[in-house]
Amino acid sequence: MEEDGALLGAIARGSRAAFQSYYERHAGRLLGYVLRVTKDRSLAEDVVQEVFTAIWQKASSYRAEQGTPLAWMYMIARNKLVDRWRRGMPVASEAERPVLALVQADPELAMSLERALEGLSPEQRQAVELSVLGGYTHEEAATELAVPLGTLKSRIRLALRHMRVLLTE
């Protein structure tokens, strides 16, 4: 994680080598995540390109106190996907991704979910973004966040409980 933060710092200073390294480290996993969501390789590749373009342009806006570099990257990807849903571009069938289908059909729900995510602690948000939105297994997310598996699961459980309260208000 520290290395990713250093890479983002170098990217912010215009280092093409740092950008290439960051891309090589994360593009494959990001593509896999977006592909699982969209079920369309061409669309997924477009979204990944948009995400990495945003990373190149906005690396200086990354703040470590707000989350890990990967959580920041997945937040950008999620925002790009939401933008596409709002424009009516399909991402997955309702049977395959019922929550995403609901969000796609209801922009107000999408905004409510975003507000609920913003109401989480940084640790809870990172856990949810990596394991729920980022497509990481719990073990992978725990490793990435350098926390025990039980801690990660507790953060996710508490985050989802908190989000449920916020969404039902």
pLDDT at 105 > cutoff 70: no
> What confidence score (pLDDT) does residue 14 get?
94
Grade residue 40 by pLDDT with cuts at 50, 70 and 90. confident
Encode pLDDT of 48-86 as tens digits.
999 999 999 999 999 888 778 888 898 898 888 877 776
Q: Which residue has the tokens 């709002």?
A: 86
CB 34 within 8 A of CB 83: no
**In the predicted structure, residue 154 carries a pLDDT above the cut 90:** yes
The answer to whether the CB of 120 falls within 8 A of the CB of 95 is no
Dist CA 69 CA 4 (whole Å): 6
- Candidate ranges 33-37, 44-48, 87-91; pick with highest mean pLDDT: 44-48
